[in-house]
Amino acid sequence: MKNEKNPYENILTRDPWEHFTGDYITADTWLDASFRRRESLAGEWNYTEDPYNNCLRSGWYNFSTSESIYRTYRSQFPAFGIDEKEFTVDLASQMDLLPMVKQLVPLDFDFDLWPVMNLPCCWNMSAEKYFLYEGSMVFTRTFRHSRKEDERAFLRIDGANYRCAVFLGGFFIGSHRGGGGDFFIEITERLKPGDNRIIIVVDNTRRLEQVPMINTDWFNYGGLYRGIDIVYTPDTFIRHFFLTLIPDGTMKNIRCSVTLDRDVDGKCLLEVPELGEPVSIPIRNGFGEVFFSRKPEPWSPKNPKIYDVAITFGEDRITDRIGFREIRVEKDRILLNGRDIFLKGISTHEESVVNGRSLSPEEVRENLTLVKELGGNFLRLAHYPHSGMTSRMADRMGVLLWEEIPVYWAIQFENPDTLADAKNQLEELILRDRNRASVVIWSVGNENEDTERRFTFMENLVKCAKELDDSRLVSAACLVNWEENSVQDSLSKVLDVIGINEYFGWYLPGIERVPRLFDEASVLGKPFIVSETGAGALAGKRGNENEFFTEEKQRKVYEDQTAAIRKCPNIRGMTPWILYDFRTPLRTNVFQNKYNLKGLLTADKKRRKQAFYTLKSFYEELD
Ligand code: GCB
């Protein structure tokens, strides 16, 4: 805000985000904070909706501290009889300038008098009037910290949909895009004794160039919906590490790589007490990697064994709980710990009627328990990164996971910046979850056009996934060619597992065509799974098997689909659509009422539809 020249300069700014979006925070600064000392900033925040982005445009953040007010309004303080020359920054920071500046200019905001929202949450669920709000919301609070002198401090924000800009003590400290990941900003130098004002502008506007773009079959929640913490580390620290069984069939060769925050040499010590002697990892220029042999008890859905793990470098020590298992493909089969596995799955959104996308631990546990109740072993976390809590819980409960980024439908495949965004979302997800035994598949997309530009885009993502993690399988949910009754997606060339979305019996008549479709898919010589199939039903609506939205119709589709799958030995799994009904603005008929009704349960998970039992008995029969 350059008031000296023209107090109204802000109105000449075309794009208020312009100065805050060039240099996003990315996975390059991601760090493993799971077991580090943390202080939560959850709780009461003042907020305002800001649809025209006046906070960014007019620089409200400049009023965070007396120092930032001084920087902005210095020349106007002589009005109070203060001599400009004597008015140093030190003097200013000892005064409370906000009341004074309020006498100089009319402010369009009042941080402490704004209403209060309890974060984290989806604002849509906080008040009726925000249910459909799309745009920017400004959140602010003050906090005190407990950073020790020799510690570094990082702000961790988890789940800010879709982009956000962060200000601390009046300084812009970073911005981020992508609604499902967590990211870190170093704030060591910015933390002050006493109260620190933080301001976060979150904007969930849908845009063509984003990932996802403007059109999705799910609800666009907004907010800071998972967590906001300060994370403390020593001066030189372990950013992240990757510990995994090498998928070579031996079940004993292990690799551990470690990335430090600084370009130093030395050695790390890896301890897995239950697996014997510690292992030393030489570090050169901040990176180290070691290969060694042990005989861990394999993690599996039936025996989700996890080990205590610790890694030490100098005074830094991080711990984790990690399972060892092998996942690989051999021709058209999927092998878990060397044995054929059928992925008995179901898809789910990260949503609850009450909390939106901001699931409680109980709600996550309920979803994983439902997978078990279905007789399943696999959950597809569609269509964007779900919380890290889910994969940790799946590790403990023994549920295999498919994790996905929202490269959904009509993405701008020709746009390099869109690719950078998608890639970053994938990197954040992989860095966060590559030590989770439960995660076996990274999915790079869902139902996209089969064109060259899309192929190039997706090939890039597949490469990126393999570079960060060569121990898992890469997949995508592909469209079928209905007319030809085949899966001809060129992407299948670069995938380990092919996901097929087919809605025969629902959107498409001709369920009898399914067996041929599966035979055709077998020709690809790769394992494939039915990543989606299903039908909508309003719980309690009864009728005949041909009547849309009845439980009978949904059940019939499940009966027909499972019958076809039973006959096709080449299918290696399925994740029908979907565990429970979910919100979507696309579905407006009288039964749907803005919900997608393909759930096996109602949205509140209180009622099971008939198809739940059809799938359950199919999975039990497979055992
Ligand atoms: C799909 C999409 C999913 C939709 C579903 C449906 O193919 O992948 O996001 O919700 O179909 O219900 O139509």
Under the banding of pLDDT at 50, 70 and 90, the label for residue 4 is very low
Residues 6 or more apart whose CB falls under 8 angstroms from that of 4 comprise: 75
Q: How many CB atoms lie within 10 A of CB 445?
A: 28
Q: Are 109 and 55 in contact (CB under 8 A)?
A: yes
Rounding to the nearest 10 degrees, give the CA dihedral for residues 156, 159, 163, 167: -30
Alpha-carbon gap, residue 270 to 283, rounded angstroms: 12
593 closest CA partner among 603, 602, 583: 583
- Please list every protein residue whose CB sits less than 6 Å from any atom of ligand 1: 217, 383, 446-447, 501, 532, 577, 596, 598
Both structure tokens of 170: 């009046």
Model confidence at 6: pLDDT above 80? no
Q: Are 530 and 575 in contact (CB under 8 A)?
A: yes
Q: Summarize pLDDT for 285-339 with one digit per residue, the tens.
A: 999 999 999 999 999 999 999 999 999 999 999 999 999 999 999 999 999 999 9
Please write down the HEC assignment for all residues of 513-574: HHHHHHHHHHCCCCCEEEEECCCCECCCCCCCCCCCECHHHHHHHHHHHHHHHHCCCCEEEE
Q: Summarize pLDDT for 114-168 with one digit per residue, the tens.
A: 999 999 999 999 999 999 999 999 999 999 999 999 999 999 999 999 999 999 9
State the distance from the centre of ligand 1 to the C-alpha of 578, rounded, in angstroms: 9
Q: Which helix (H) or strand (E) holds 208?
A: none
Under the banding of pLDDT at 50, 70 and 90, the label for residue 1 is very low
Lowest mean pLDDT among 16-20, 44-48, 228-232, 483-487: 483-487
Q: What is the CA radius of gyration of the chain?
A: 26
Inter-CA distances, 348 with 96, 160, 286, 487, Å: 51, 20, 39, 24
pLDDT value of position 484: 85
Alpha-carbon gap, residue 256 to 412, rounded angstroms: 37
Q: Running DSSP on this structure, what letter comes out for residue 298?
A: P
333: phi > 0 → left, psi -120 to 50 → alpha, else beta; which? beta
198 closest CA partner among 157, 158, 147, 159: 157
State the distance from the centre of ligand 1 to the C-alpha of 404, rounded, in angstroms: 14
Catalogue the E-assigned strands of 32-151: 38-40, 43-49, 116-119, 136-143
Alpha-carbon gap, residue 223 to 162, rounded angstroms: 8
309 closest CA partner among 240, 263, 253, 227: 240
The domains found in the chain, sorted by start residue, are 9-233 (2.60.120.260), 238-325 (2.60.40.10), 328-622 (3.20.20.80)
Rounding to the nearest 10 degrees, give the CA dihedral for residues 322, 355, 184, 30: 40
Q: Report the atom number in ligand 1 closest to the C-alpha of 447.
A: 8
Model confidence at 541: pLDDT above 60? yes
Q: Are 496 and 526 in contact (CB under 8 A)?
A: yes
State the distance from the centre of ligand 1 to the C-alpha of 408, rounded, in angstroms: 10
Nearest CA to ligand 1 atom 10: 217
pLDDT value of position 522: 86
- Report the SS3 class of residue 117: strand
State the distance from the centre of ligand 1 to the C-alpha of 596, rounded, in angstroms: 9
Inter-CA distances, 457 with 177, 383, 405, 419, 521, Å: 19, 18, 13, 7, 23
pLDDT, average across residues 509-537: 92
Q: Running DSSP on this structure, what letter comes out for residue 455?
A: H
Nearest CA to ligand 1 atom 9: 217
Report the residue among 383, 596, 597, 600 best suited for mutation to probe ligand 1: largest number of ligand atoms under 8 A from its CB.
596
Q: Summarize pLDDT for 460-509 with one digit per residue, the tens.
A: 999 999 999 999 999 999 999 888 888 889 999 999 999 999 999 999 99
344 closest CA partner among 86, 620, 7, 547: 620
Q: Report the atom number in ligand 1 closest to the C-alpha of 446.
A: 8
- Report the SS3 class of residue 244: strand
What rounded mean pLDDT belongs to the chain? Answer: 95
Q: How many CB atoms lie within 10 A of CB 34?
A: 15
